Amino acid sequence: MKYSKSSLAITLSKLNVFAHPKPRLEQYPTDSEIAADILWQAYMKGDIKGKTIADIGCGTGVLGIAALLLGAKQVTFIDKDNTALEVLRTNLKDLNIDEGFNILNLDVTEFNGKADIVLQNPPFGTRDEHIDRTFLKTAMLTAKIIYSFHKTTTTRFVESFSADNEFSITEQWTVRFPLKQTLSFHKKKIQRIEVTCFRLKKT
């Protein structure tokens, strides 16, 4: 195996991220340490190597790229923002990854593919109220095993929505997400919010 958890985190920390994040699309990349941690857990559970994976709302691609580095068979990257996908293309090129993926410039509602596994850190729904639900619904139509990040305060919703759709939560990891915020007086401040990655499995 080429990567350890820590070397994966280092490689991910070098990826390019959104140059001009669009607040309306809730564009913030998953922190590289957190991405490496979760992907490592997924890898150890046998959910990555040799699997087909959909990274929905992939942005600049940290989750799907981590999966490719850990031996995923095929990753489909989906995002509605082509500017983010351009950054993703650069990231793949920088890592000399030229096969085993496809990139779809689609809204989540337009995607209807299938995969073994969905990995997604979608918008949390702070701008567009039900977008987290839309992503979860799409993920459930795509795969039988899902890793999906949500604000920890919405855990009840994830539980009931999963039960209603015949999925159960098998694992959950709560992390503190750094959200970089620029204040009006140009001082950068890092705010943290509690986020949980849920592993959901079709029952």
Please state the closest distance from residue 28 (CB atom) to ligand SAH, in A.
Answer: 5
Nearest Cα residue to 191 out of 181, 183, 201: 181
CB-wise, 51 or 163, nearer to ligand SAH? 51
The residue ranges that bind ligand SAH (CB under 6 A) are 25-30, 57-60, 62-63, 79-81, 84, 107-108, 121-123, 131
Q: Which amino acid is at 203?
A: T
Look at strands 101-105 and 74-79 and give their pairing. Answer: parallel
- CB nearer ligand SAH, residue 3 or residue 122: 122
Residue 80 or 151 having the CB closest to ligand SAH: 80
Phi, psi of 110 (to 5 degrees): -95, -10
Q: Tell me which residue has tokens 């839309």.
A: 134
Closest approach of ligand SAH to the CB of residue 102, in Å: 15
Residue 24 or 202 having the CB closest to ligand SAH: 24
Distance (Å, rounded) from C-alpha 33 to C-alpha 30? 8
Q: How far is the CB of 127 from ligand SAH (least distance, A)?
A: 9
CA 86 to chain centre: 17
- In the complex, the smallest distance separating the C-beta of residue 203 from ligand SAH, rounded to whole angstroms, is 26
